Amino acid sequence: MLNINVKTTVAAAVITLAGVSGAALADTTPHEQMQPVATSVAQILQETKDDQRVSLRGQITKQISKEKFIFTDGSGEIQLDIDDDLTAKTPINPPVEVEIIGEVDKGIVSDTEIEVKSYTLVN
């Protein structure tokens, strides 16, 4: 009798753990497939949280360092952080119109910026 209860308890625990793991995996969406939540600089500065995905169209007006740029869309300005492996493939020579997809980076010490994941030059 005790042996059956132990087997039942172990089986129930395994099923429960499998269910939790399955549920956790089912709720994860690959980062690349997440829909952008903000589409203007003003909205990003007022409403977004750290790491939220954003999509913007506007102009890179100035390069301030190797990976830092200033972007405007008419609603405000924000700094972009564009990894040099992206700019090596598609160089940026401000001023230039772009469409970008990235993540909000709300710095503890610095201002909010966008970590650019991809961009397209617009003619």
Class of domain 33-121: mainly beta
CB hemisphere CA count around 59 (13 angstroms) = 9
What are the structural domain ranges in the chain?
2-31, 33-121
Beta strands in 1-106 (DSSP E): 53-63, 68-72, 77-82, 96-105
Per-residue pLDDT tens over the stretch 52-73: 999 999 999 999 999 999 999 9
Percent of the chain with pLDDT over 90: 60
pLDDT, tens only, 10-53: 555 444 444 444 433 343 445 455 676 778 999 999 988 999 99
The number of C-alpha atoms within 13 Å of 77 and in the hemisphere containing its C-beta is 7
How many other C-beta atoms can be found within 10 angstroms of the C-beta atom of residue 51? 12
pTM of the model: 0.71
Structure tokens at 96: 């230039």
Backbone angles phi, psi at 56, to 5 degrees: -135, 150
Residue 1 is predicted with a pLDDT of 52
Q: 2 pLDDT exceeds 60?
A: no
